[in-house]
Amino acid sequence: MAITESVYGDLTAAARRAAALAYCPYSRFPVGAAVLTGSGAIVAGCNVENASYGLTICAERNAVFRAVAQGPGRLVIQAVLVYTPTPQPTAPCGACRQVIHEFGPDAELIAICDGPAVIRSRLGILLPDAFGPGNLAPY
């Protein structure tokens, strides 16, 4: 189901607010992500870096994990909107695509920035033939 203009606006506002809270002293590349759940809730996350660089968590995964922890029940991801304060939009990294797939194999993915360019796609297009819960089901 396509999201409405009003929900698009709410996702944008939530992702922008989250980006402003990003902890990114090493990359200086703030990212905000907003997850739209199956029940219409919006849960946001920002990237959180660490002095041990590899422990950094991306905004998208932070938002997904927050949505799982918030409940209620099993998370279904309808859409994820990513905001970066950059001239070009940033699509979710491969690890984040994999994590989004777990809860939203058909999720809409939107990436916006400070310029006019927008990436609007679907998880199944950005991560085709993904490995997921269905692969484990027969075993």
**Of the candidates 62, 118, 84, 90, the residue with the CA atom closest to the CA atom of residue 16:** 84
Rounded distance between C-alpha atoms, residue 59 and residue 32, angstroms? 6
Write out the two tokens for 56.
Answer: 């950094």
**Of the candidates 14, 31, 64, 126, which one interacts with ligand THU according to CB under 6 A?**
31
When binding is defined by CB under 6 A, the residue of 18, 49, 67, 75 that contacts ligand THU is 49
Measured from the CB of residue 63, what is the shortest distance to ligand THU in angstroms? 10
Which residues neighbour 99 within 8 Å (Cβ) at sequence distance 6 or greater? 60, 61, 64
Percent of the chain as helix, strand, coil, to the nearest 5 = 35, 20, 45
Q: Is 58 in the site for ligand THU (CB under 6 A)?
A: yes
Among 15, 19, 36, 59, binds ligand THU (CB under 6 A): 59
Beta pairing, strands 119-122 & 77-83: unpaired
Asked if 89 touches ligand THU (CB under 6 A), the answer is no
Q: Is 108 considered catalytic here? A: no
Tokens of 11: 């996702």
Of 24, 41, 68, 76, which one interacts with ligand THU (CB under 6 A)? Answer: 24
Residues that bind ligand THU (CB under 6 A): 24, 27, 29, 31, 47, 49, 56, 58-60, 90, 92-93, 96
Positions marked catalytic? 60
